Amino acid sequence: MIRISADSTCDLSPVLLERFNIAITPLSITVEDQVFKDAVDICPEDIFRFVSEGKTCVTGAVNVYEYQEHFQRLTADGDQVIHICLGSGFSSCYNHAVLAARDFSGVEIVDSKNLSTGSGHLVYEAALMAAEGIELLKIQEILNELRTKIDASFMIDQLDYLAKGGRCSTITAQGAKILRLKPSIEVRDGAMIVGRKYRGVFEKALRLYVLDRLQDPSALDPSRVFITGAGCDPDVFAMVQSIVEEYGVFEEIIVTEAGCTISNHCGPNTLGVLFRRR
């Protein structure tokens, strides 16, 4: 049997993880002198609370030893494993997983070159292929091709969290706040870039962002779309889902909450539509 494994940053819901029996390796979150495991003993609401209290939260990669223990458990009964990592441009998780996998036959590692449900798309596809009985190396080959077609982006309400993490300057964050700018962050070639900037209140800017992302329906793969957000009101999720449904393109619309990594870097009121292009 082939077991599907992924880093916690894939941001798939507990329902999907259970449905496909997906094994998760949690990243760590260090808050001052305490170390937590993503989605094990810390959640995004904790992150937002810690930050509001003036505490610094730092995300950490899964280390080689943790991957070795993880692969040992999954292969103990002779199963093969394909593990999908947070993109190598964002973390050392991929390099650590590759080093750990050298000690195990039948364990293959995929660099998603993505994050959140951008990686989640690959995890989902891997699970479907494994259920169909497709061979391990063929799954890996298909995922390596598929990752180039993932369209992953988020719109961010504020740049404060990115500034705290050193991913933008405090001056830039303050300027965006004064001008009421809401930037979209896109994943391109395994790295994050700033896309279009929207102006105005969050909900209005978010509507424009979604319309922009879906403006060419003929270029969209209809299989599924993820609507993934951090610290958003349920009405915001509902609004975005309604817009996506109006297009009538996608066979499956999956709403998920972003995990601690996205939440820690982007802050509350972050939401993205993530899909595949043809």
Q: What is the CATH number of the domain that holds 249?
A: 3.30.1180.10
Same-domain status, 113 and 21 = yes
Three-class secondary structure assignment of 6-56: EEHHHCCCHHHHHHCCCEEECCEEEECCEEEEECCCECHHHHHHHHHCCCC
For residues 146-155, give the mean pLDDT: 96
* CATH value at residue 104: 3.40.50.10170
Q: Which domain holds residue 15?
A: 2-27+62-148
Q: Is the pLDDT of residue 125 over 80?
A: yes
Q: Is the pLDDT of residue 162 over 90?
A: no
Angle between helices 136-146 and 116-131 (to 10 degrees): 150
Same-domain status, 76 and 105 = yes
For residue 160, what pLDDT is reported? 62
Q: What percent of the chain has pLDDT over 70?
A: 92
The answer to whether residue 46 sits within a structural domain is no
pLDDT digits (tens, 9 = 90+) for 215-261: 988 899 999 999 999 999 999 999 999 999 999 899 999 999 999 98
For residues 76-93, give the mean pLDDT: 96
Residues 2 and 82: their CA atoms lie apart, in Å, by: 7
pLDDT digits (tens, 9 = 90+) for 166-217: 554 443 444 444 346 788 889 999 988 888 889 888 999 999 999 999 998 8
Same-domain status, 110 and 8 = yes
pLDDT digits (tens, 9 = 90+) for 41-59: 999 999 999 999 999 999 9
Q: Is the pLDDT of residue 161 over 70?
A: no
